[in-house]
Structure formats: C-alpha cells, structure tokens
C-alpha cells in the first residue's frame, strides 16, 4: 500500500488524465515525441544520406523520428541487481509480494461505498453524453503520434504497406483520431479504407474536421467517420448517443420487414460497413467504457463485420492497474458489478482480467449451432509497467491487457 501514491483531490484529476495516457511502449517517450505533422511525408530523396535500402512503412514508423531499431523502447527490464530508482520506467515487471493483497483491500473499500442507485442509473442511461462533454473540452489535447501501434500491432501497420492490396480497417471508439490519423499519415496503400467510428458525435465531428479527413494531404487512402454504438442491437433504434443521428441503417437489404429492417438480423454495423468485409478491427480503450452486460452484443457486431480470417485487436485496462487502485470512494457504479467505475467526468471505466477477455472472444457465434468459437486467440497478454517517481521514491504499476483474435467462422450474418 505504501508504494501507492497518496489519494488526494488532485489525484482525481490526474487519475482521469492518467487513464487516457497511452500504453506502455509509448509512455516513457512522451517528452521526446514529436507531434504528428500534417506535412506530406518526407520522400526517400530527402533522406538521401541514409543507405538506399527500401524501407517498409513499418520501418518508417520507427525512424527517422522514432527511437532507433534495437533501442530499449519497451524493453527496459528490471534485473535483480538493478536499482529501480535509476530510471523512470521498467517494462514487463513482475508484481511484488503483497501487491494482490493490497489491491484486494482497495477494492473492498470501493465495494463498501458505491455510487447511489439514482446516480448509477443516470450514468448508465446516456453514457455517450459524458463522452460528448469530454471531447467538447479535450478536442485536440489527446492527439498523439502513437508509435507504439507499430510495435504492438504490426498487423495493422501491414495494411498500410504499398503492396498490401485492398484493405478495410474499422477503428471502434476512435475518439479524436489518435489511431486513425497516425495510420493515415504513414499510409502508402492506395487501396486502404479506414472507418473511424465512435458513439460520441462530438468525437466524430472532431475527426471529420481534421485536415487529414477524408483523404490525407499525400492523397493515399481514404477515411469515413461515422457515429456508431458498438453495443447497438437492431431493435434499439437510433444510437444511445442521443444525437438524433441515425447512422447505422441495416447494410443488408434482403428479407426486409415492412420497416425496412431484416426481421432476423441480430447485428448493427456502421454506415458503409458490410458484414464479413473488414480485415482488421482496432478497439483501443473502448471495451472498458461498456457495461459488462453489453460485451456480448459488442463482440457479436465486431465478429459480423470481420471477414473470415480477419483480425480483432484489443488493448485495454487490466485488473489492479494503477488507475483502478487510485480510485477513491463513491466511484464503483454498482456493488453487483465489481471493477466498473465512473470517472470524475462521468465516463465509465472497467478493469479486465485475461479470463474475461478470453471468454468474450472464445464464445460461440450467436445464432449458429452453438458449436465452435467465434475467434482463435493469437495473443492474450498482460502488459505491466513499473513507473517510478524518483523524487518521492514511489513505485506505481500500470497493467494493460492486449488481445489479438482471428475470426474463425463463416462471415454469413446470422
């Protein structure tokens, strides 16, 4: 417990910011990072002093502005003889003895003081409104050149190579575009289409207003930004984003009911996205904003969008992450739903275990025979990073989850 930073009112604010900081591979390099330039990419000629070796798009994500290949980026390991206070961060750390017990005690404090039922219902009723409010204030503040994407999700970057062929990427919960704009900035694939979606209309408007939208200055690739609630069901009507912005009519026109919607349809996809059409889906710090009762429909919608063999990439907060242990009283949304909180700004946040994410993606497809899994898991990882406050000699543990899951079953919509 003594290793945790003190819980003060100002912590509440920094916690909310901390929640939105980027994951490990990037965090320790924030200061050195160069903001994403909207200038066209440097041509090979401009870097003529470098050896004339053809560099892939993936290489360019790391150089010339990023850390050199082979640097300690994401790989500073705390050995038995290392002095933990000699650096600000350590990667892939083991949690110390007593950490689990300390975390349990903190969670017990949370459990004993949940938010009131009235407030809970209000927070759950219109969650997108809190994100709208968030983006109204932070329209550009969280825009980053996410170099860690290239390290953690090379499969995503592979879609942007010049000879990758036709590729469709669906970015879910795109926010201000922290993933899609760096991706498009580096893109060299003329056949890349990126669908940026969020259920916050304010976030989508920010993406649409960006000079890189819908076609970046270098002219390669195209984006579409639309409001879409990942949890939506066909019967639910317009998005719970309450924007009055109906953006997800059924994509399939057959077997329509008199209201123009397939009577047997169980999924809702973003405007312009056909079932079984997407190569890669990215869901970065988005599932944590859902209520656990919404997970099943969310994954079902994503499964429906992917083509067979398509890849689902998830990154999110892990159980007992610093952001969870810093939470104070009166933030647990419901004692019957542990690990789901409301932040100071009204947005929800959940902290996952590997098992929860695993069972989410290994469930059988809806509407089928009930046999087999939706996905095959290629990676299910827990990423732990130790942050050091050298001045105050504090140790803080960030814990993130990462999943790569490949769609197994046929793409036919149920």
Ligand X SMILES: C[S@@+](CC[C@H](N)C(=O)[O-])C[C@H]1O[C@@H](n2cnc3c(N)ncnc32)[C@H](O)[C@@H]1O
304 touching ligand X, by CB under 6 A: no
The size of the interface with ligand X (CB under 6 A), counted in residues, is 18
With contacts defined by CB under 6 A, name the span among 52-60, 167-175, 212-220, 385-393 that binds ligand X.
167-175
Question: Which range in 63-71, 77-85, 226-234, 252-260 contacts ligand X by CB under 6 A?
Answer: 226-234
Helix axes 127-137, 117-125, angle to 10 degrees: 70
Which lies closer to ligand X via its Cβ, residue 90 or residue 295? Answer: 295
Q: Could you say which of 26, 231, 277, 411 contacts ligand X (CB under 6 A)?
A: 231
Whole-angstrom distance, CA of residue 151 vs CA of residue 26: 10
What residues numbered 75-134 form the site for ligand X, per CB under 6 A?
Answer: 131
Burial readout 161-188 (b: 16 or more C-beta within 10 A, e: otherwise): beebeebbbbbbbbbbbbbbbbbbbbbb
Q: How far is the CB of 128 from ligand X (least distance, A)?
A: 6
Instruction: By CB under 6 A, name the one of 225, 284, 299, 386 that touches ligand X.
Output: 284
Residue number with CB closer to ligand X (61 or 131)? 131
**Candidate residues 129, 198, 279, 383; the one interacting with ligand X per rule CB under 6 A:** 198
Name which of 168 and 289 has its Cβ closer to ligand X: 289
User: Minimum CB separation from ligand X for residue 190, in Å?
Assistant: 26
Residue whose Cβ sits closest to ligand X: 173
Site string for ligand X, 321-350 (x = CB under 6 A): ------------------------------
Residues 9-28 that bind ligand X (CB under 6 A): 20
- What is the nearest approach in angstroms of ligand X to the Cβ of residue 211? 19
CA 135 – CA 197 distance, rounded (Å):
14
First to last CA, the chain: 49
- 173 lies in the binding site for ligand X (CB under 6 A): yes
Please report, as residue ranges, which positions from 175 to 194 form the binding site for ligand X (by CB under 6 A): 175, 178
Query: Which of 107, 169, 194, 230 touches ligand X by CB under 6 A?
Result: 230
316 touches ligand X (CB under 6 A): no
Residue at token pair 């110390």: 96
30: exposed, middle or buried (Cβ count in 10 Å: 0-12, 13-18, 19+): exposed
Binding site for ligand X (CB under 6 A): 20, 131, 173-175, 178, 198-200, 203, 229-231, 284-286, 289-290
């Amino acid at each position: 417990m003594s290793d945790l930073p003190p819980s003060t009112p100002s912590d509440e604010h920094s916690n909310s910011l901390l929640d939105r900081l980027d994951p490990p591979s990037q965090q320790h390099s924030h200061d050195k990072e160069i903001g994403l330039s909207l200038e066209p990419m440097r041509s090979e000629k401009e870097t003529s002093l470098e050896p004339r070796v053809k560099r892939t798009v993936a290489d360019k994500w790391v150089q010339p502005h990023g850390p050199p290949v082979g640097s300690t980026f994401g790989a500073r390991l705390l050995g038995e003889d290392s002095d933990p206070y000699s650096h600000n961060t350590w990667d892939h750390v083991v949690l110390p003895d007593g950490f689990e017990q300390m975390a349990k005690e903190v969670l017990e404090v949370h459990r004993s003081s949940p938010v009131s039922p009235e407030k809970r219902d209000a927070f759950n009723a219109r969650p997108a409104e809190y994100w709208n409010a968030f983006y109204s204030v932070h329209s550009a503040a969280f825009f980053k050149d996410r170099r860690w994407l290239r390290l953690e999700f090379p499969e995503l970057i592979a879609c942007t190579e010049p000879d990758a062929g036709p590729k469709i990427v669906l970015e879910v919960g795109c926010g201000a575009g922290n993933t899609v704009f760096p991706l498009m900035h580096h893109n060299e694939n003329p056949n890349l289409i990126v669908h940026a979606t969020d259920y916050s209309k304010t976030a989508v408007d920010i993406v649409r207003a960006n000079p890189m939208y819908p076609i970046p200055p270098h002219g390669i690739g195209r984006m579409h930004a639309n409001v879409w609630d990942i949890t939506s069901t066909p019967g639910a009507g317009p998005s719970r984003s309450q924007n009055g912005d109906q953006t997800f009519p059924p994509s399939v026109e057959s077997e329509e009911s008199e209201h123009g919607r397939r009577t047997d349809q169980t999924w809702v996809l973003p405007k312009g996205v056909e079932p079984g059409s997407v190569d890669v889906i990215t869901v970065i710090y988005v599932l944590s904003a859902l209520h656990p009762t919404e997970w099943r429909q969310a994954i079902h919608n994503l499964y429906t969008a992917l083509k067979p063999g398509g890849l689902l990439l998830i990154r999110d907060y892990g159980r007992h992450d610093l952001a969870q242990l810093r939470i104070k009283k009166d933030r647990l949304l419901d004692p019957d739903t542990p690990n789901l909180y409301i932040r100071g700004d009204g947005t929800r946040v959940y902290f996952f275990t590997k098992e929860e994410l695993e069972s989410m993606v290994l469930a059988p497809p809806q509407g089928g025979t009930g046999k087999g899994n939706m996905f095959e898991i290629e990676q299910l990882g827990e990423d732990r990073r130790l942050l050091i406050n050298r001045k105050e000699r504090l140790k803080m543990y960030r814990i993130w989850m990462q999943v790569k899951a490949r769609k197994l079953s046929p793409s036919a919509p149920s």
